[in-house]
Amino acid sequence: MNWDLSALFETIPEAEEFLKQAKFRAQDFEKKYKNRLYTLTPEEFLEVLKEYEDILENIARALTYIYLIFATDSSKGNFLAAFQKLATEAEEHLIWFELEFIYLPIDKQQKLIDNAGIYKYYLIHLQEEAPYRMSEKEEKILMKKELTSSSAFNRLFDETLSKIKFFFDGKKLSEEEILSKLYSPDRNERKKAQVALTNGLKPHQELLSFIYNQIKKDWKIDYIEIRGYDEPEDPRHLSNRVPKQSVNALIHTVNNNTYIVEEYYKLKKELLGYKKLYDYDRYAPIKLTDKNPEISFEKAKEMVLNAFKNFSPKFYEIAQKAFEENWIDVFPAEGKRGGAFSHSATPKAHPYVLLNYTNQRRDVFTLAHELGHAIHQYLAKEVGYLNQDTPLTTAETASIFAEMLLFEEMKKSLSKEELIELFASKLEDIFATLFRQIVFTNFERRVFKFDELKPEEFNKIWMEENQKMFGNSVYLTKNYEIWWSYIPHFIHSPFYCYAYAYAQLLVLTLFALYKENYENFEEKYIKLLSLGGSLPPKKQFEELFGLNINDENFWQKGINEVKNMLIEFKELVNEYKNN
């Protein structure tokens, strides 16, 4: 139950030599074609583009191999650093290509695009970015400048958070450890964890506020003053390949339906038997049974394969392949990184899934989630390396859909009490990736209107936006007001968070179509995943499902699926209370 990396390389020296050859090819590519793109016919340019893609894919193949080795053995960090240095040296000889293309005359660009086949949208996306790109020399200056601006503040934030220790029951805990205590079934433990988290963060409020203010300033200087975007969030929409109109429709729809969250938490308060639900009670597990059954990996494999088989022979076939050909590294081990992921690798290999399976029900959902990613990545191989990766707005399409398939499968075999526990867990997961992420985006939109905010001003905006979501269901204590300050996305990736909500609601909309027996749904859905990033999301959904992601009705369909889940949950709770 460990990876077989032979689809990439057999040994580290073999991979290193392969990467060196990729560097030589990149140097030769630059010598042959730099400052010559304007002389090429569309047919010649297409061959050069394919060569460019092939060199990039070879670099990625070597980096994938060493990263996967490092992911399962952290002692190999020196090899990872050496490979990254070599890869950067190779890529320096390729940075000119995209810049030279966007500075060609428009009519020349259009002729090249018309003949580009599957690379058409890749080139169109370069055109869309063109107004905001600088010359090669200026881009290199900005890259160097970043080391002492946003990257430096990112590092300061990370180092500050990693050094903070949270005092809990006489022990010093890390951030991850103290946050895990908020999920404790013991209310007193959750309350102590809330106090400990706040007390740990409070002495650093001035510094964390300063860091966020500098991030906002640098972002505005870089993207508005230098690159010429109209609004701070515009570069994120462009990289996510979605129009602002679509994002606004999503946010408006979610903001109009926060009563769903309020209704759920009022019901949760009843189930927990509390007179008042505080912020530290949000993640309290609902336990109506003494059962906490361990689920072996073999059983999890059977459950996920059954869920996939009931949906699509193609899903089942690829997932079965993943198990049989050792695409999956399953269990925790010394030196192995935590969490889970599916790495797309390159089209000439196959995806690799990392798990840390511990026989819990949540691990079964993680298996389904990561296999969903792997299926998506495997299907997208056919559009090539430059097109295989999707923007974050659609990257979670297959993974969340796979979780929903498993959810429907698991519902068939559980008791009423276990179903209530399962529904509560699933609804809270959806709230975390849907409503909460839009709260984050609402917060960012407000704070970016100011160049400088004091800690208490950040706190006030944070509390106001969170209270809108919870309404009268959850009481937010004063301790909660500084919790914006530990969220890394605000620092590392401004306006990143809405993409989680985008993906969640998009999948729920698709899942509603599936349950309604939409004509040829399986075939169209497989086609959607196979497109990877070769078409923008708007075009994919228009062409395959006749859906308009700029329309609030599209997003409301996904919201209705959440409402239906809440109705089903309420019915289960009422039956339970009446028995």
Model pLDDT, residue 224 = 96
pTM of the model: 0.88
Q: Cα(112)–Cα(105) distance, rounded to whole angstroms?
A: 11
Query: Are 349 and 61 in contact, with CB atoms under 8 Å apart?
Result: yes
Q: Would you write out the chain's pLDDT as a tens digit for each of its 579 residues?
A: 899 999 999 999 999 999 999 999 999 999 999 999 999 999 999 999 999 999 999 999 999 999 999 989 988 889 998 999 999 899 989 999 999 999 999 999 999 999 999 999 999 999 999 999 888 888 878 877 777 888 889 889 988 988 899 999 999 988 878 998 999 999 999 999 999 999 999 999 999 999 999 999 999 999 999 999 999 999 999 999 999 999 999 999 999 999 999 999 999 999 999 999 999 999 999 988 877 678 999 999 999 999 999 999 999 999 999 999 999 999 988 888 878 899 999 999 999 999 999 888 889 999 999 999 999 999 999 999 999 989 888 888 999 999 999 999 999 888 899 999 999 999 999 999 999 999 999 999 999 999 899 999 999 999 999 999 999 999 999 999 999 999 999 998 999 999 989 999 999 999 999 999 999 999 999 999 999 999 999 999 999 999 999 999 999 999 999 999 999 999 999 998 887
Cα(280)–Cα(115) distance, integer angstroms: 58
Which residue type occupies 97?
F
In DSSP notation, 159-205 reads HHHHH--EEETTEEE-HHHHHHGGG-S-HHHHHHHHHHHHHHHGGGH
Domains of the chain, start order: 5-143 (1.20.140.70)
Helix-strand-coil percent breakdown of the chain, rounded to 5? Answer: 70, 5, 25
